[in-house]
Amino acid sequence: MPTITTNSETQTVITTFEMTPGTCQDLLDALTEAYAEFISHQPGFIAAGLHVNDAQTRIANYSQWRRREDFMAMLRSEEIRKRNRKINELCRSFEPVMYEVAATF
């Protein structure tokens, strides 16, 4: 379960995906499968959530990792590189960005 706190030493990654309503469910299925079968089993993985906007044109993914290096190692794996090629075909763009929690309310 993700915990959002400013004194956390975890690495937060927010990835946004832009797609058409016609490919939203396919992309959501591919992301859900990637988390269930691979990503959630990687060293340093803590938790993640997938969020879909009402128009089904964007998916936001929030994930937490113990360390930046854990996330980077997962990204470099052959398995996720193969999956990312498929994901790239289903969306216009996607961009993972690492963040530090600056404030919570």
Mean pLDDT, rounded, of the chain:
94
Predicted pLDDT of residue 94: 92
Reported residue count of the chain is: 105
State the number of CA atoms in the 13 A half-sphere of 39 facing the CB.
24
Domains and CATH numbers, the chain: 11-99 (3.30.70.100)
- Write out pLDDT tens, residues 54-105: 999 999 999 999 999 999 999 999 999 999 999 999 999 999 999 988 898 8
As a whole number of angstroms, the distance between CA 9 and CA 103 comes to 14
The two structure tokens encoding residue 44? 């340093």
Q: What pTM does this model have? A: 0.91
Using DSSP's 3-state secondary structure scheme, residue 24 falls into helix
